Amino acid sequence: MSFNNHALIFLPRVLFISAALVTNVYAGEKKHDAPKEDNKCVGAGPQSPRDIDSLAGNNPVILEVAPAIKEMNLCNIHFHRNAEHKSAAYSTFVKDGSNSGWACKEPAPGRLSQKQAEYNGCQGIAEGDTIEVYWVHTTCDTKTEGVTPMGGGLSACMTTICSNPQLRVVAQVFVLQKDGKLKFTDSLISSNDPSVVYTGSTTGTSYSNTHCSPFQGTWDVKKTCETLDIDDFSKWCSNNIYNDNHAHGVRELVTSEALLSKISK
């Protein structure tokens, strides 16, 4: 969940969200490695991404959960190559530079040696890749005629008269393949799949376990791993209203219970 001009990030309030969503993070971005003496996680609220199969967490910051999706407006969609979250269905670790994350299966032979992958105008993807897609929703009215969003990325989730919205992100993991089971749509693809809802932070490679995100959000993460038609997805990726045609980088998994919220059963 990263952002800037294309992906997403949060504003300093209990915003509910990767994205995907804090400073737009590109596949080639470097991870932030803060020295131990400059640990910027002291006093931070609960972080993301996490293993959603684990309910444990004891971060003392309590956040309000964002409204239900049906009460909100879709404002941004972006994706990461390799999942930022981890679950039983996508628990294969892939060491892939700034894209190191979790996959439904091992990448295709030779995939990690490719310097620059591109598929039909969609940068950073290839057949067999695992991706995690973030649908970002806002409590701002961004649809009514005459309403003016403040820009791209997270700014598309705000307007000149609604600058501090609540955000919620629905996240789903897929394997890209020819003739995949599902076609890509701007609306949620399989909303009845099992999911985990928790409060956390924005993600992306700007943050780590020693340099935490100060921006908070609500996550709704699907536990399944579906196949997504790569030709269909690449058409959306190369030409969508969010001007987001690339895979974003992955923040390392947060495992310390002191940095996580407790997930309700």
Q: Write the pLDDT tens digit of every residue in 113-146.
A: 877 889 999 999 999 999 999 999 999 998 888 8
pLDDT for residue 144: 86
**Tens digits of residue pLDDT in 166-222:** 889 999 999 999 988 999 988 877 667 799 999 999 898 999 999 999 878 899 999
Where in the chain does DSSP place strands (E)?
A: 73-81, 92-94, 101-103, 118-119, 122-123, 130-138, 167-177, 195-201, 216-229
* More confident site: 191 or 13: 191
Domain for residue 265, yes or no? no
3-state DSSP percent of the chain in helix, strand and coil, to 5:
10, 25, 60
Domain for residue 117, yes or no? yes
pLDDT for residue 42: 82
Domain count, the chain: 1
Domain for residue 26, yes or no? no
Domain for residue 10, yes or no? no
Quote the domain boundaries for residue 144. 36-259
CA distance 65 to 119: 37
Domain for residue 171, yes or no? yes
Residue 71 tokens read as 């009460």
Domain for residue 19, yes or no? no
Helix (H) or strand (E) holding 231: helix 230-238
Q: Which band of pLDDT confidence, cut at 50, 70 and 90, is reported for residue 106?
A: very high
Contact predicate 84/48, CB 8 Å: yes
CA distance 195 to 205: 24
Q: Burial, 258: exposed, middle or buried (Cβ in 10 Å; 0-12, 13-18, 19+)?
A: middle
Domain for residue 155, yes or no? yes
- pTM for this one? 0.84
